[in-house]
Structure 1
Amino acid sequence: MTTEALSAASALPYGQLIPIGIHFDELDALGMLHNARYPLLVERAWLRLWQERGFDFSGDWQTTGDACNVVKELRITYEAPVNRVATYAVHLWLERLGTTSLTYGFRFCTADGGVTYAHGSRVLIRLAPETLRPTPWSEQLRAAGQDLLRPPE
């Protein structure tokens, strides 16, 4: 199922669901997804989302633009264990899109978005590759991220 179809099928009020597969070798000795895997899987989901929206994350920091960023803060709360090999999803959205920083929210959940296993947020700062100082996000990222913004409550 494509991420677009998955998102439409779930009727999320904001953000997008990205499917993520869990494999046997990602489970710990107790048969649960290790806590350190969650942030990695969320990162992979974001990478997939941005690539589907036309961004290139080649690893060349001089030319990669918005991908030249660093994590300022990561917060995660674990609600229930993931204890079987299956396809799950990561629900992604933008909480805030500032000039040089953004905050995104996430939920690690069942493939249909119905059950949440973990949730949290992460703050990123965009850097200029020449100086490693904060620099504004591109207009391309701003336009591509508008539909991901969570509506005010």
Structure 2
Amino acid sequence: MTVEAQATPAVSYGRLIPVTVHFDDLDALGLLHNARYPVMVERAWSALWHELGWVFDGDWEAAGDFCNAVKELRISYEAPVTRPGGYAVHLWLERLGNTGLTYGFRFCAADGAVTYAHGTRVLVRLDAATLRPTSWSERFRAAGRELLRPAD
């Protein structure tokens, strides 16, 4: 089955974004290389933000909410990915603060049923001129609230 055929699997919160593992993403043992998981997650976030209307064109002054830095990345590997093909990244926000946010992710089967890895990443919104923390825009916060994971 192609990735396009599984474009929008259902999840109860956040979004499931299709990704493709290629043969050259695998290591010498035939496993998805551990460093490729964060790359796949980053690409999924980029696709989602682009879909929501945010595009970075290389101008940090104009980037607004895209001018941010990673403060922390945590990832746990649960099961090996052993072949190329269609998978998904489940994305959501755990916390949306004034200048920072924490997002959660799962690298999973295309239908979301099997989790291969999961984790969190903390971002801090930066002012392009000073590189000091600054507030997220209201437009970004509104979009972010839609991705917040419900309290358990």
What band does the TM-score fall into relative to the shorter chain? over 0.9
Alpha carbon RMSD of aligned pairs, Å?
A: 1.3
Any unmatched runs of 5+ in structure 1? none
CA–CA separation in structure 2 for the residues paired with 1:56 and 1:2: 26
Change in CA separation of 1:60 and 1:2 when aligned onto 2, cut-off 3 Å: farther
Q: CA deviation at 1:129?
A: 0.3
Give the structure 2 partner of residue 13 of structure 1.
12
Q: CA deviation at 1:2?
A: 8.2
CA–CA separation in structure 1 for the residues paired with 2:89 and 2:58: 23
CA–CA separation in structure 2 for the residues paired with 1:28 and 1:139: 42
Which amino acid is the alignment partner of residue 57 of structure 1? F
CA–CA separation in structure 2 for the residues paired with 1:21 and 1:101: 29
TM-score norm. by structure 2 comes to: 0.95
Counting only pairs closer than 5 Å after superposition, residues 1-153 of structure 1 correspond to structure 2 as 1=4, 6=8, 9-10=9-10, 12-153=11-152
Which amino acid is the alignment partner of residue 58 of structure 1? D
CA–CA separation in structure 1 for the residues paired with 2:144 and 2:133: 19
CA–CA separation in structure 1 for the residues paired with 2:18 and 2:147: 16
CA–CA separation in structure 2 for the residues paired with 1:2 and 1:48: 17
Q: CA deviation at 1:59?
A: 2.1
CA–CA separation in structure 2 for the residues paired with 1:125 and 1:59: 18
The DSSP-based 3-state class of the residue aligned with 1:145 is helix
Q: CA deviation at 1:145?
A: 1.6
CA–CA separation in structure 1 for the residues paired with 2:124 and 2:58: 17
Q: CA deviation at 1:131?
A: 0.4
Q: CA deviation at 1:95?
A: 0.2
What's the CA shift string for 1:84-111, capped at 9, x where partnerless?
Answer: 0110000000000000000000000000
What's the CA shift string for 1:7-59, capped at 9, x where partnerless?
Answer: xx42x111000000010011000000000000011000000000000001112
CA–CA separation in structure 2 for the residues paired with 1:2 and 1:65: 34
TM-score norm. by structure 1 comes to: 0.94
Any unmatched runs of 5+ in structure 2? none
Identity of aligned residues (%): 67
The DSSP-based 3-state class of the residue aligned with 1:62 is helix
Aligned residues: 149
